[in-house]
A = this chain, B = another copy of it.
Amino acid sequence: MSLRVAIVGATGAVGEELLRVMEQRRFPVDELLPMASPRSAGRFVEFRGRRVAVTAIDVEKLKTCDVAFLSAGASVSRQLVPQLRGSRVRVYDNTSAYRLDPDVPLVVPEVNARELTDRHHVAAVGNCTGILLLLALAPLERAFGLARVVVSTYQAVSGAGRRALERLKDELRRELDGAPGDVPVPSAAAPAPLAFNCIPAIGDIDPGDDVAARSTGEEKKVVAEVRRVLARPDLPIVATCVRVPVLRAHSESVYVELRDAGATLATVRAALAAAPGVELRDELARGVMPTPRQAAGIDGIHVGRLRPGDQPGSFAFFLAGDQLRKGAALTAVQLAELQLPAIRAASGVP
């Protein structure tokens, strides 16, 4: 009569953040089952002051859990989810595996919580960049209608994983010491040096030679997921996703054209200020603006630099948010919280 909660990918950056978020929000975990790839099994994670051993991924054990957070990559999710169907466990998938599956709701709690019902046993947590963007776009869509979105991102290296983060620090130490050292080998996580660089290539690259191959995996995710969550399959949106040498928190430069050409700076500002998850940081003359350093660890997004664009109904702004927290772990836990009454009822926990 107690909640069993599994984390698949418990030793990764999102897994670690899931543990912290569950602690902070007092998510009712009675038994924690941290799982990971065989490489990481045998390690320990900290939860509520205790060390808990990480095991290999065990499908049979997962079936006996009430909640499973998946953040071990899309291929792992694609393997696990079909095997878990029909069991009691509720799955919150932090990978891209099911985000565009019409049978799986893609939910940002502040935007489309009602799409997640008690009958869903699998829910998808969106791409980090898309979630942060949606917190700002949704209130504008609701109040004025979006006619066009152009977004350029400034994405932190922690979004590429722990090893990329260590590599950035190694590169910086080498360069600051003036020692040439080994030249880093390009990898999928970092196709160019990370230190003192901007890399306009995040995610998988389609090796084809057609037009589709000119957008990156990250850009395709942002576009598709924003359209899906807003239920605007034809929304004109262009995304350019760029890795920058920031440790944590993504930033985004956003340009929007609104359907309601009568929208004013004041009404747009009011719509953003009232939106859940949005905190305005918009006093440029006083140095108050969104920056990734200040956004690290926050639960929503900071929005600022709001100003009119080049025609009636167009506006530009800048946002920053913690991609590991709100962009992944926190949103997953929020989804589980939305289903908590149903989960408790099923498990017999009062």
Binding site for B on A (CB under 8 A): 148, 150, 152, 154, 169, 172-173, 176, 186, 191-193, 196-201, 205-209, 211, 213-216, 236-238, 240, 242, 244-248, 251, 253, 255, 265, 284-285, 287, 289-294, 304-311, 314, 316, 318, 320
List residues of chain B with CB within 8 A of the CB of A308.
211, 214
List residues of chain B with CB within 8 A of the CB of A245.
196, 244-246
Closest chain-B Cβ to A213's Cβ sits at a distance in Å of 6
Q: Are A193 and B293 in contact (CB under 8 A)?
A: yes
- Give complex CA distance A242, B305 in Å: 11
Residue of B nearest to A284 (CB): B205
List residues of chain B with CB within 8 A of the CB of A318.
200, 240, 242
Closest chain-B Cβ to A34's Cβ sits at a distance in Å of 27
List residues of chain B with CB within 8 A of the CB of A290.
200
Shortest beta-carbon contacts, A-B, top 4? A236-B310, A214-B307, A152-B253, A152-B152
Closest chain-B Cβ to A295's Cβ sits at a distance in Å of 10
Q: Are B240 and A305 in contact (CB under 8 A)?
A: yes
Q: Are A201 and B284 in contact (CB under 8 A)?
A: yes
List residues of chain B with CB within 8 A of the CB of A304.
200
Q: Are B200 and A293 in contact (CB under 8 A)?
A: no
With A214-B284, A255-B150 known to touch, is A292 a contact of B246 (CB < 8 Å)?
no
Q: Are B197 and A292 in contact (CB under 8 A)?
A: yes
- Give complex CA distance A346, B230 in Å: 67
Closest chain-B Cβ to A311's Cβ sits at a distance in Å of 6
Residue of B nearest to A149 (CB): B310
State which of B205, B246, B310 has its C-beta within 8 Å of the C-beta of A285.
B205
Q: Are B246 and A284 in contact (CB under 8 A)?
A: no
List residues of chain B with CB within 8 A of the CB of A242.
154, 251, 253, 318
List residues of chain B with CB within 8 A of the CB of A314.
238
- Give complex CA distance A308, B311 in Å: 22
With A236-B310, A284-B205, A316-B240 known to touch, is A246 a contact of B196 (CB < 8 Å)?
yes
- Show 19 residue pairs from A and B whose CB-CB distance is below 8 angstroms, ordered by the A residue: A152-B253, A172-B172, A196-B292, A197-B246, A198-B251, A198-B291, A200-B305, A206-B285, A207-B285, A208-B285, A214-B265, A214-B284, A236-B310, A238-B309, A240-B305, A242-B251, A242-B318, A244-B244, A245-B245
List residues of chain B with CB within 8 A of the CB of A320.
198
16 further A-B pairs in the complex, CB-CB below 8 A; given A197-B293, A199-B291, A236-B311: A152-B152, A154-B154, A192-B293, A198-B251, A201-B305, A205-B284, A206-B285, A207-B285, A209-B285, A211-B307, A213-B285, A214-B306, A240-B305, A240-B316, A244-B245, A255-B255
Q: Are A214 and B305 in contact (CB under 8 A)?
A: yes
With A215-B307, A285-B213, A307-B211 known to touch, is A198 a contact of B240 (CB < 8 Å)?
no
- Give complex CA distance A348, B191 in Å: 55
State which of B200, B284, B292 has its C-beta within 8 Å of the C-beta of A198.
B292
List residues of chain B with CB within 8 A of the CB of A201.
284, 287, 289, 305
- Give complex CA distance A199, B293 in Å: 10
Q: Are A310 and B148 in contact (CB under 8 A)?
A: yes
A205, A216, A242 — which one has the most chain B CB atoms within 10 A of its CB? A242
